[in-house]
């Protein structure tokens, strides 16, 4: 099931994991949330509660999403999913540094979950630490070389840093993995100044 919503600012792609399944979020940054079908809740991963917190997040109800995550954590203190949701909700609500602390907790609980690498990249990106965000995107790609939104994330970082050649190189790679990137790149602030650039226009055509 896909949801989209818009947040003014940069392109964000967050991956939340619900009981071992990926939930990918992108934002303008605009945000796409892909919620997996999960039916069995376990003590470690309260699926229905996490799904509700995710719905609140995709509806831009950040305070409610944080509150729901806190409810989960009272009962399931080791839910990396709840920490991920709380961290991203805080980041999107303007508290990137505070949100990053909760994302780090999610990573500490489940360091083998590549989704937590991705979430680290997103919070560093929201915080404005582009180099650290790039480092974490690269960690994702070391595990999953065709992770579309990590490739795209690096493209946006190069664009924001003014490295046009690298930005277009990475954008081309992201589009080759998933052509839907064209639609995102056309509308994101990262690439506004590329409009009219023959190489960019050909890539997103």
Instruction: Return the minimum-mean-pLDDT range out of 41-50, 54-63, 152-161.
Output: 41-50
Give 7's pLDDT tier (boundaries 50, 70, 90).
very low
pLDDT of 41 strictly over 90: no
* pLDDT for position 21: 33
CA 134 to mean position of chain CA atoms: 13
**Mean pLDDT score, 29-41:** 37
CB 27 within 8 A of CB 7: yes
Start-to-end CA span in the chain (Å): 27
- Give the helix/strand (H/E) hosting 28: strand 21-34
**Mean pLDDT score, 153-181:** 97
pLDDT of 53 strictly over 60: yes
What the block records as the tokens of 81 is 């999913």
CA distance 201 to 31: 23
CA distance 12 to 26: 5
What the block records as the tokens of 158 is 């190069």
Q: 66: exposed, middle or buried (C-beta count within 10 Å: 0-12, 13-18, 19+)?
A: buried
CB 126 within 8 A of CB 118: no
- pLDDT tens digits, one per residue of 67-94: 999 999 999 999 999 999 999 999 999 9
What the block records as the tokens of 94 is 């303007």
Of 35, 25, 56, 20, residue with least CA distance to 126: 25
pLDDT of 24 strictly over 80: no
What pTM was computed for the model?
Answer: 0.76
Strand partners, 16: 23
CB 77 within 8 A of CB 102: no
* pLDDT for position 46: 80
Give the three-class secondary structure for 23.
Answer: strand
Strand partners, 21: 18
Give 66's pLDDT tier (boundaries 50, 70, 90).
very high
Mean pLDDT, the chain, rounded, equals 83
Of 111, 112, 110, 136, residue with least CA distance to 123: 136
Find where tokens 């100044």 sit: 193
Find where tokens 């780090």 sit: 104
Of the two residues 45 and 149, the one the predictor is more confident about is 149
CA distance 135 to 203: 25
């Amino acid at each position: 099931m896909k949801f989209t919503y818009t947040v003014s600012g940069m392109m964000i792609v967050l991956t939340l994991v619900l009981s071992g399944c990926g939930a990918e979020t992108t934002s303008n940054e605009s945000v796409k949330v892909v919620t997996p079908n999960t039916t069995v809740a376990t003590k470690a991963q309260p699926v229905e509660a996490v799904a509700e917190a995710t719905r609140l997040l995709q509806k831009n109800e950040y305070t409610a999403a944080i509150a729901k995550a806190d409810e989960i954590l009272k009962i399931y203190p080791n839910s990396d999913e709840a920490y991920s949701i709380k961290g991203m909700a805080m980041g999107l609500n303007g508290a990137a540094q505070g949100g990053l602390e909760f994302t780090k907790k999610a990573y500490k609980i489940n360091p083998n979950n590549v989704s937590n690498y991705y979430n680290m990249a997103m919070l560093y990106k929201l915080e404005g630490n582009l180099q650290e965000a790039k480092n974490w995107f690269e960690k994702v790609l070391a595990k999953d070389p065709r992770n579309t939104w990590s490739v795209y994330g690096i493209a946006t970082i190069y664009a924001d840093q003014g490295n046009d050649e690298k930005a277009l190189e990475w954008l081309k790679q992201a589009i080759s993995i998933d052509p839907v990137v064209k639609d995102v790149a056309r509308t994101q602030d990262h690439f506004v100044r590329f409009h009219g650039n023959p190489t960019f226009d050909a890539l997103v055509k």
